[in-house]
Structure 1
Amino acid sequence: MQPIQPRWIQAILLYLIISNAIPGCWALFMPESFYTSFPGFGRTWVSVDGPYNEHLIRDVGAFFLAVTTLCCLTLIVPRLVTAQATASCLLVFNIPHLLYHLRHLHMLPWIDQVGNVVALSLAVLLPILLMIYSASVQKSRQSVLF
């Protein structure tokens, strides 16, 4: 029997799938475009930080797609991969990623600074919500057993 996830957990996982799949596909399959144009809409967040490196950009794209796969498995087969395990993996990447960008905001115009901080903070806060929820569910299951 599959554990039933609340709709808000499913919504967070769906957001994390989309927010990782888009840059993942873009970076892996169109690395130069990703470098010069991410996040799109006339903004540039990657090229301001140094010279183009196709290998690095493609590796980042593949990483984002690996995380997308993890989030998909958590959403579709929650017994196989727990939300807590997924949140842990996301936080290992997203916390240092946020900290790096917080130290390098000066390279961006103010509107991109705001967008960068909001997007990357969500990438930390949402997995923390998954961790808190998963820990409370696990605790309540243990109290039922004992």
Structure 2
Amino acid sequence: FLASDLKTEGQYNSWMGIYAGATHQPVTETVLKNHDHQLKFVHKFPKELNPKMWTEMAEDICKRIGVVPNEVDHYFITQLNFNSINETMDNLGVSRDKAHMVMDKYGYTGSACIPMALHDAYLQGKLKKGDLLLFIGSGGGLAFAAAAIRY
């Protein structure tokens, strides 16, 4: 483990969530009919938000550990969509091949997507001892996390 970072963009805290259940709003017929007991996206997040934050976090972590983004051997980024990951790699000036993607096999799998991508890269024999790995994730609320690991 080399470094990590956690950032939030709290202004988006109510843009997605589960809006009913438990004591706040007990489940009723209306709640079920409106699907308020399930994850809902109330507003569409700006498409540039993830690439912007992922790029900043990658640059910040690289600076803290004394490398440039191209010296990272593998990027494992939240598997939301290909375009956001590719845009991030382009922003960093890094080959898109360094971002291992599995969403074409599994779709979006939530918080499991990053370890699934890591495992897939491992199974394909892509990881070598001493490789520098950068993990970047985002989740509802909005929260962003990144970690650098020497394999």
- The TM-score range, normalised by the shorter chain, is under 0.3
TM-score (norm: length of structure 1): 0.27
Q: Greater helix share, 1 or 2?
A: 1
Q: Which has the higher contact order (CA 8 A, sep 6+)?
A: 2
Q: Greater strand share, 1 or 2?
A: 2
